[in-house]
Amino acid sequence: MLKKVIAEQIEILKPDKTIIYELKKRSNTIINLLKEEISKSGIDAGVFIGGSFAKGTLLKSDNYDVDIFVRFDWKYDSISDMLEKFIKGISKKMEIRFERVHGSRDYFKVFSEGVPGYFEVIPVTKIKKPSQERNVTDLTYFHGPYIKRRISGLEDQVRVAKKFLKAQEVYGAETYVRGFSGYTVELLIIKYKSFAKMLKELVKVGSDKRLIIDIAKHYKNSNEVFIQLNEAKIHSPVILIDPTYKERNALAALSHETFDRFQKSARIFLKNPSAKFFENKEVNINKLKEMANKKKLDFVSVYMQTDKQAGDIAGTKMKKFFEFLVKELHEIFIIKDSSFKYEGGNKGKGYIIAKSKKEIVRIGPPLHMKKAVSSFKNKHAVTFIKGKYIHAKLDVKFSLKEFLDSWKSGNDNLMMQMHITKFDVEN
């Protein structure tokens, strides 16, 4: 059954040849025009195509993205600004629109009519060896050739692995996901030779252990890895030594929370293979409400917007706000379940299922502060002494929604500081 489900997905996930042809045609046009603009400027830079399109691992989609890299000589600093001038030049010639995307290094999305998607034009610095990187995107020049030399015959396995990870919402190294990047998926398939084997091996990793994968055999043993790598790079549950750069853990962004979710989905899939594991998840709010009501729990949906740049920055800001919100609830509610999802653009949503503690204890001033203690007693009906402090028992008489509505009305400045421009709560 497992082989059958995977085989069916492989056929579904292959991009149409006509789309591949059109993407190649348009990307070649953009590359040639970029080369012309670069040549006219006298700036020392080259252009190359990268990402999954260059490696032949592109996944069928309604919205394709093709990576084009402009590689500037080491002597240049403001390479995003330089690239913007080139992009403006080609946009006039091709009559296409583009937008600048802010990040650790700004890049550009170029939109071409007739193609379902866009081209990401990314500035990188020309480096002779990976250790000279100024930005992680500089390493792409080394990643592409390494994968292309080894991925032949495994492209379908990469596609099915990517689709599974995307459907389980654990794909992407962005801060709001902290999952598997496209490059790490390709490396894992090269290591295990198949999607099924990849799952079977990764589910074996215990919660108290870390798996070390060193494809290029840069290190003699695991002890050497822990000694040689910076401590910040070895916290992930899987340490995947970048074969092109021995000092880098390619899966450093992978969080334990994300990996746990992946393992749970992988175990269920391996036990009962089904096409549903490759379908994007849609949260059924009505079912969640129904379940919460049956268990006499509070349920709310939350909707938020940010003024930050769409993508990793916007998603991360809203996720941090959502996590902060959940922490705020812990004093009064027992959180049974919560989930955040970045909706793209500047929007995010989530839900929280919780149970009221009914009664909470608030710590008052120390006993030697007589006036403060007296004032505290006057404000609270039930007080008691514990240690050197006065305490009060408070009844929780409000719902989760009522608490969040009240919190919202009193925290406008805080939300502004966290770049949240809109926050709505619904039952």
CATH 3.30.70.590 fits 285-358+396-426, yes or no: yes
Nearest to 206 by CA among 270, 247, 256, 243: 256
Nearest to 81 by CA among 67, 95, 102, 96: 102
| H/E run at residue 327 | helix 312-329
Contact (Cβ atoms closer than 8 angstroms) between residue 342 and residue 205: no
Both tokens of residue 116? 């379902």
- How far is 157 from 53, CA to CA, in rounded Å? 15
Nearest to 91 by CA among 23, 143, 34: 34
**What residue has token string 């695991």?**
222
Give the pLDDT score at 6.
95
Give the pLDDT score at 231.
80
- How far is 16 from 69, CA to CA, in rounded Å? 24
Cα distances (Å, whole numbers) of residue 268 to 8, 203, 235, 238, 332: 19, 10, 26, 20, 34
Nearest to 184 by CA among 223, 135, 146: 146
Nearest to 51 by CA among 119, 152, 135: 119
- How far is 148 from 215, CA to CA, in rounded Å? 15
Query: How many residues would you count in the chain?
Result: 427
Q: Which residues of 161-178 are buried (b: 16+ CB within 10 A; e: fewer)?
A: bbbbbbbbbbbbbbebbb
- Report helix, strand or coil for 59: coil
Q: Which residues of the chain have pLDDT under 50?
A: none
Amino acid letter, 277:
F
Establish how many alpha carbons lie within 13 A of residue 320's alpha carbon, considering only the half-sphere containing its beta carbon.
16
**What residue has token string 């992930």?**
236
Q: Domain residues of the chain, as ranges?
A: 16-149, 151-281, 285-358+396-426, 359-394
| H/E run at residue 45 | strand 45-50
Instruction: Supply the CATH classification number for the domain 151-281.
Output: 1.10.1410.30
User: Fold for domain 16-149?
Assistant: Beta Polymerase; domain 2 (3.30.460)
Pair type for strands 389-395 and 333-344:
unpaired
Give the pLDDT score at 379.
83
- How far is 172 from 184, CA to CA, in rounded Å? 10
Contacts of 145 (CB under 8 A, 6+ apart): none
| H/E run at residue 196 | helix 195-202
Q: What is the 3-state secondary structure (H, E, C) of 63-93?
A: CEEEEEEEEECCCCCCHHHHHHHHHHHHHHH
